[in-house]
Structure 1
Amino acid sequence: MDAGFAELLSRHLRYLGSAPLTGDARLRDLGLDSMQAINLLFAIEDAYGVSIPDELLVDETFETGGNLWSVVVRLREGDRR
């Protein structure tokens, strides 16, 4: 994850506190609920110029920051799988 992505993500994690965000941190454990996930989705799409397709809107994608970041990277590179 780059620093900008970690900053964007941390705004949606009410239980993160002052701890650094790692790629393997479980987002649900840090307070990401379904409403926050929707807000996060829109924020990511706006900030990174991607559109996350429906088939990637699954629990695995939003399980960790690292999973979500890897989807963003793949989409920015043109890989929609």
Structure 2
Amino acid sequence: MWDSSFDEALRPYLPFLPADEALTAETPLKEYGLDSLATVELLAVLEEKYNVRFSDDALNLETFENPGRLWATLSQLQPAS
């Protein structure tokens, strides 16, 4: 599962997700309001927060389909701890 920073970064870009509803790995981001502009903004936030750069190959609809896929992609970009 992801860390709380990821959840905090993602929620502002999901205007249709109720504050009391859990964000799961399968939450459909587009259905909860993640549009193309929000995706670009979220990408910038995640790159800054986690000090990574998404490769061109990762910039696709599948990566931003749900939190599980996005976190998996982000995790691959982070150095091993």
TM-score with structure 1 setting the length? 0.91
Aligned-residue identity in percent: 36
User: For 1:24, which of 11, 23, 26 is the aligned residue?
Assistant: 26
State the match for 1:42 in structure 2. Answer: 44
User: For 1:51, which of 50, 53, 61 is the aligned residue?
Assistant: 53
The 2-side partners of 1:36 and 1:15 are apart by 13
Count of residue correspondences? 78
> What do residues 3-61 of structure 1 show as CA deviations (whole Å, max 9, x unaligned)?
11011101111111221111110100110000000000000000000000111100100
Structure 1: gaps spanning 5 or more residues:
none
Structure 2: gaps spanning 5 or more residues:
none
The CA RMSD over aligned residues, in Å, is: 1.1
